[in-house]
Amino acid sequence: MRRSAATFFGTVLALLLTATLLAPAASAAPPGIPDAATARAELAALTVAPPGSMAGYSRRLFPHWTSRDGCSTREEVLKRDGEGVTVDADCRPVSGTWYSPYDDVTVPASSRVDIDHVVPLAEAWRSGADTWTTDRREAFANDLGRPQLIAASAASNRSKGDQDPAEWQPRAAAYHCTYGKMWVRAKYHWQLTIDDAERTALREMLSTC
């Protein structure tokens, strides 16, 4: 009987440990996500205009992953959004896991994680950033103070491309509210425009909050 009890409790403990290891890692939310009421007010304040031209656009016009204090912007987001992250002497993550809220998966290696610009660089260009100085575009592309950068699986980030919420939304429907709030805050802070379809999609996303 004692052996059977020990075997039973050992099996239960092993199952609990396995469930813990397989559970999604905690996701560190980017800073500055507004509440739903604030996001709706900010959305209503955005200027509605047709998308601008892509003429002259290049990612090089938005210098990104700049370094500060020895760590690049990418490395800062990986440290912020990961679970159990350790870095080497050059600030490169050598271990950790990253929960991707876009598709509800946990990524076990930083090489398979992309840092998503919530409002993509090309979308910003079409929405007014084409008139900015290089310094302002650099600040936008490396914005750690607002919900403009987030760690996501490479697959989800690349499926998104430069699409706005009328064209692409996270596969994980439970994240639509948060994604809508992040998008609105980024556009509101950086004084970027939205188009009609984008506004409609954002209203629908915020209605899920």
pLDDT score of 27:
54
CB 182 within 8 A of CB 118: yes
User: Where exactly are the structural domains of the chain?
Assistant: 26-206
Which range among 28-37, 72-81, 123-132 shows the weakest confidence by mean pLDDT?
Answer: 28-37
Distance in angstroms (rounded) separating the CA atoms of residues 206 and 20: 32
Predicted confidence (pLDDT) per residue in 14-56, tens digit? 333 333 333 344 456 899 999 999 999 999 999 999 999 999 9
pLDDT score of 158:
96
Distances (CA, A) of 23 to 20, 117, 128, 172: 5, 26, 41, 16
Predicted confidence (pLDDT) per residue in 150-175, tens digit? 999 999 999 999 999 999 999 999 99
Task: Return the percentage of the chain with pLDDT > 90, whole number.
Answer: 85
Which secondary-structure segment (H or E) carries 5? helix 2-22
